[in-house]
Amino acid sequence: MFSSGIVESGELESHSTGFSATKITEARVVRIPLREEQARLTHARIATAAAALFVERGYAPTKIVDVARAAGVSAQTVYNTFGTKPALLKAAYDLTLAGDPDPVPMSERPAVVAVEQLTDPAAMVHGYVSLARQALDRLGPLMLQVVAGAAAGDADLQAHQQITDRERLTGTGQLAQRLDDLGGLAAEVTVERARDAIWAMFSVQVWQLLTGVLKWTGEDYEQWIGHTLCASLLTTPDGAQ
């Protein structure tokens, strides 16, 4: 079963019987399988509902049946789609991080590509800080639930935190290496030290302390993180970007 196609070239010839019989010549029709599209939309709807409930109630108190009800599907559909509750949490995390259900890797999204193409180390730091702030504004509330649950001993959340911490460390390591390749790191700063510093500064704990507890604005948080990283890591600290 397919959704309606898109005619990219050719001509449409109508017969006397009206639109019931048509001939498409020299045409290529692109069709998206309806079942695959429905599955993608269902996946996104369930993950969105799960993220909202995990933030509102916490991970442990939220049951699969609660997520199913909020998403308008059966509990079996949730299990068929994700398999396990930890897998559902990871899907909710990834969807919230991306900000939309489009199947485009973060590294290929235009905003990320634009920052990666910068050649000025300070501009690159500020660019990544801006991306990190936007991600934390979306993902922070869910991450705080994960951190709290992991600290309380929830095995699922401890495993999830270990996975996402490793993912963040890989990402900040790539940024640190890029800064080094550009000749931007100060002589006393190794790639590993820069990676660790960026990883810590991009943490949800720092974000929560400054914007949640101390009530800094998002702009103040972003500027301070950017200036602090530039001052502590780069050969030539910058002014405001």
pLDDT in tens, 149-178: 999 999 999 999 999 999 999 999 999 999
Q: Are 26 and 11 in contact (CB under 8 A)?
A: yes
B/e letters for 134-143, b = 16+ CB within 10 Å, e = fewer, are ebbebbbbbb
- Domain 35-98's class? mainly alpha
Question: What pLDDT score does 113 carry?
Answer: 93
pLDDT at 97 over 70: yes
Question: What pLDDT score does 12 carry?
Answer: 36
* Domain residue extents for the chain: 1-32, 35-98, 106-233
pLDDT at 2 over 50: no
Question: What pLDDT score does 31 carry?
Answer: 52
Distance of alpha carbon 62 from its chain centroid, rounded? 22
The residue ranking higher by pLDDT, 50 or 105, is 50
Question: What pLDDT score does 37 carry?
Answer: 81
The pTM of this model reads: 0.79
The residue ranking higher by pLDDT, 224 or 236, is 224
Q: List CB contacts of 65: < 8 A, sequence separation 6 or more.
A: 75
How far is 34 from 186, CA to CA, in rounded Å?
54
pLDDT at 28 over 70: no
Q: What secondary structure does DSSP assign to 207-219, as a single string? A: HIIIIIIS---HH
pLDDT band at 1 (very low <50, low <70, confident <90, very high): very low
Report for 34-38, 103-107, 175-179: range of highest mean pLDDT: 175-179
Question: What pLDDT score does 34 carry?
Answer: 80
